Structure 1
């Protein structure tokens, strides 16, 4: 498509956008009396307007039914999480039995590693990307220490090449092959939080399995953002937060995936809890743990229904729009933002370097921009002028044009504000 850096062109693109109605479904903060241009859905999504209805429904049932709300609420609490199975499975490319919601992201990764990181004296290493999100680094370090291994030896990191900004797929494959029969687990973020790089999950999963390792994915920046086919790729397990692209609210409940090939494996250890027990017999209070078949069998505690309500409001919106439509708009919107950045860059003395892959297959809803010749004052200027973006050291801003609530005119207007901030 031939883009134009004009408001008229941006408005034309918005007018023909089949998802344009969804922008009015979200609540925008205001700066200087105007709704902001919001680029930080990769950290915390905006609040959908319908969220309040879902939360108020739970509050009303709690007030009027108290404990009886578990069984007699409009959406009974004891099986509230089951409403996610269909729509969430369509977002991540799974069977409904393979997904659940519970806990928070790092808690879920720890719990899943109880089942899927089973090191032996020979096969004990974990492969991850260098400079993974800090929570993943801390989790992996603590897991290998718990099993009596030295993180410096047991954690194998794949680095980007000198002078490059993201990791080559062939380097991940080579490291998997090099680690060989010492490799117990591959656990990588599906989308790198810093650069926005999308990893080839299908190829990496296959490579990990060829060596005899299990493969899991942290999908914090992937769920609701990219096309996932977790079942078909035969991913062993995955987990994701719900508060970034999935708009469920700060620190909210996590989603989890366990491939059906593991559902009937009675030898697979797990940390059990009441809510993972056979649903039909749960209230008999029997002493022996009989797990629910499927991912729900990895649940531990009674679900936090007040937290799940905003997530349900959002996931139903995803089901309405469909991931294919969201991805089509995401690709056009991200490409237009890239064009706007290049236009601004060409008209100034500053040099912006996009460190996110240029190939649309290797990126999603994020452009990370290295601000050569600029710094934190430019970020501060953007924030004061109604562009909510994200700063990462040493000199990078991350821009996430989320298709649900960002418009093409937002991209144009951002370019005008950015140009004023430089000049």
Structure 2
């Protein structure tokens, strides 16, 4: 039998350092639903869903059948020149379910990163303006445009500048910005004033093309902006002829208990990016937006040889069917309440659980020093490693945040098993029984 260690050792000589954020020394071999299996046959509960790219779970029968059937017909012929049947059907279906009124159009890509690049292109083309506004804590991707608008890791800026010009980053109203005893109204007022400051001092609103936002930040810590703040930002944008764009790559497609995370806010975007789970993890993305905006950019301004190919779009059609037929957004909302109850109970028991957030099956749990309430990355690493040893895959964000994003098809029994594993790890940390792995310094973002 080939072991995890042997395969990783063989890979190490050829894989660049930047190609993986290190967590656990396993090689994934197979998956089914919310379960993963490594090459040695160890089974794990998946609490990450491949970074929220497998909302329908692993190897869903309907998605697998769609891939197999389409692959037997034709795998690829570039949609850059000719249409294919599944992509033509998917474009209309995606336009129909977009949270945007009026005529909507779609442009394909291969990843969420290039979809966010597309937002930049379409916004500049439509408005004739250059400046882009995004938020601190954002993760929009790793291509130059999407990376330039991101602000979640210094390693997304080190050694690779200069980045795209014309990008201005403003503070995101996450829980860590809120002052003790500050009311939500006062918090929103303060954060919106910080948002406006660039426009009052050096950023001409009339030269700004787009404000890009994750209404619920993903890699920034699974944190939801206050609804009133997002409304003010969108209103400001439209008052000044600026497009309002949302990134739904991580948080869309049922993850938060609604089809799209922006639906929690009662706001319609002008543009949105979709990726990750749209094809159950196959490389497909889309920019979706108001037709007049999408028609502002001529070909080949945003097209790619393999984007929207027959296999990925067939997988996406099946994925959307599964999401709708199995009511996965509603299921996420219902099971998310169980998760919220569990983490609320654990926070009462353990002072090292600080702020925690749950939006459907989509949560961030802050691990802090019980006395100072400061972020505790050491305890966080101990926890995720012990959770791994106990049979579940969970990673950390921003050094001290547990990322809870299981596939939306996880069964209630599996969810309770996950709770039992987490509760045991929490209890063992409380009792001082957990130790760091030998490679702890290499683990995490």
TM-score of the aligned structures, taking structure 1 as reference length: 0.67
Contact 2:107–2:286 under 8 Å retained in 1: yes
Long gaps (5+) in structure 1: 1-23, 71-75, 144-148, 274-297
CA distance in structure 1 between the partners assigned to 2:300 and 2:335 by the alignment = 39
Show the counterpart of 2:240: 211
Distance verdict in 2 for CA 1:54–1:324, change over 3 Å: closer
Show the counterpart of 2:410: 405
Long gaps (5+) in structure 2: 1-30, 150-161, 370-375, 432-445
SS class of match (1:186): strand
Alignment partner for residue 60 of structure 1, among 58, 65, 72? 72
Show the counterpart of 2:382: 377
Contact 1:333–1:401 under 8 Å retained in 2: no
Moved more, 100-109 or 374-383: 100-109
Contact 2:333–2:361 under 8 Å retained in 1: no
Deviation at 1:116, TM superposition (A): 0.7
Contact 1:172–1:204 under 8 Å retained in 2: no
Deviation at 1:217, TM superposition (A): 1.6
Show the counterpart of 1:39: 47
The CA deviation string for residues 115-145 of structure 1, in whole angstroms up to 9 with x for no partner, is: 2125999x643221113216379526769xx
Show the counterpart of 1:13: none
Moved more, 380-389 or 85-94: 85-94
Show the counterpart of 1:242: 276
Show the counterpart of 2:209: 184
Deviation at 1:86, TM superposition (A): 5.6
Counterparts of 1:347-366 in structure 2, within 5 Å, are: 351-356=352-357, 365-366=362-363
Show the counterpart of 2:338: 333
Show the counterpart of 2:290: 259
Distance verdict in 2 for CA 1:81–1:119, change over 3 Å: closer
Contact 1:165–1:355 under 8 Å retained in 2: no
Show the counterpart of 1:125: 131
CA distance in structure 1 between the partners assigned to 2:426 and 2:127 by the alignment = 57
Counterparts of 1:20-419 in structure 2, within 5 Å, are: 26=33, 28-30=35-37, 35-41=43-49, 42-45=51-54, 46-47=57-58, 48-62=60-74, 78-85=84-91, 87-89=93-95, 92-94=98-100, 97-99=104-106, 101-117=108-124, 124-133=130-139, 135=141, 138-139=144-145, 154-159=167-172, 164=177, 169-171=188-190, 173-178=192-197, 179=199, 181-182=204-205, 183-193=208-218, 194-199=220-225, 200=227, 201-224=230-253, 225-226=255-256, 227=258, 228=260, 233-243=267-277, 246=278, 248-249=280-281, 252-262=283-293, 268-272=296-300, 299=303, 301=305, 303-322=308-327, 325-345=330-350, 351-356=352-357, 365-372=362-369, 374-407=379-412, 408-419=415-426
The CA deviation string for residues 330-385 of structure 1, in whole angstroms up to 9 with x for no partner, is: 5413312323432552xxxx6111354x7x6xx87122322436242222111121
CA distance in structure 1 between the partners assigned to 2:190 and 2:298 by the alignment = 33
CA distance in structure 2 between the partners assigned to 1:132 and 1:112 by the alignment = 15
Deviation at 1:400, TM superposition (A): 2.0
The CA RMSD over aligned residues, in Å, is 4.2
Aligned length: 349
TM-score of the aligned structures, taking structure 2 as reference length: 0.64
CA distance in structure 1 between the partners assigned to 2:213 and 2:355 by the alignment = 22
